[in-house]
Amino acid sequence: MREVISHSPSDTHGLAAEILATLPSNAVLALYGDLGSGKTCFVQGLAETMGITEPVTSPTFTLVNEYRGRTPLTHVDLYRLSHPDEALAMGFEELVESEGVTAIEWAERAEGLLPAHTLRLRFRTPEDGRTRVITIEGE
């Protein structure tokens, strides 16, 4: 387990670039943490590094956004999921098997469906509110 202190959104983007460089071509990243803790910011860093020019926002209503970069990026946000069965219905198991990198916000809502090779990142906002603490498990 590794803990990183991010002092800015660009620090979080830098961490995303660093982690991306170490990933296999089929990777699953599970992102945990409260609203505003920087999960989407991290995914934006992945997208930027992959050469994706489309803006990456939280796929609030769609649950899934797919982007074509140098490698495909699948961005999933399970915030609105009320039951893991809904993840099955949306084809979650196929999504995590898909080519490229799959990044899942609120991954705890489908915890039992995550594959064994999932890399877990936990985002926290300390009291000061200006930094983010990011722990990485499974590297």
Ligand X SMILES: Nc1ncnc2c1ncn2[C@@H]1O[C@H](COP(=O)(O)OP(=O)(O)O)[C@@H](O)[C@H]1O
List residues binding ligand X (CB under 6 A): 6-9, 11-12, 33, 35-41, 58, 105, 123, 131-132
SS3 47: helix
Q: Contacting Mg ion (CB under 5 A), which of 58, 98, 131, 135?
A: 58
**What is the DSSP-derived secondary structure letter of residue 128?**
T
Q: Name every residue whose Cβ is closer than 8 Å to that of residue 4 and which is 6 or more positions away in sequence.
A: 15, 133, 134, 135, 136
- In angstroms, give the least distance from the CB of 102 to ligand X: 16
From the list Mg ion, ligand X, none, partner contacted by residue 37 (C-beta under 5 to 8 A by kind): ligand X
Site string for Mg ion, 67-106 (x = CB under 5 A): --------------------------------------x-
Q: In this structure, what are the phi and psi dihedrals at residue 3, rounded to the nearest 5 degrees?
A: -120, 130
- Alpha carbon 71 to its chain centroid, in Å, reads 15
Which amino acid is present at 24? P
d(CA 97, CA 57): 22
- Of all residues in the shown chain, the one whose CB is closest to ligand X is 38
Judged by CB under 5 A, which of 13, 27, 32, 39 binds Mg ion?
39
Q: What residues make contact with Mg ion under the rule CB under 5 A?
A: 39-40, 58, 105
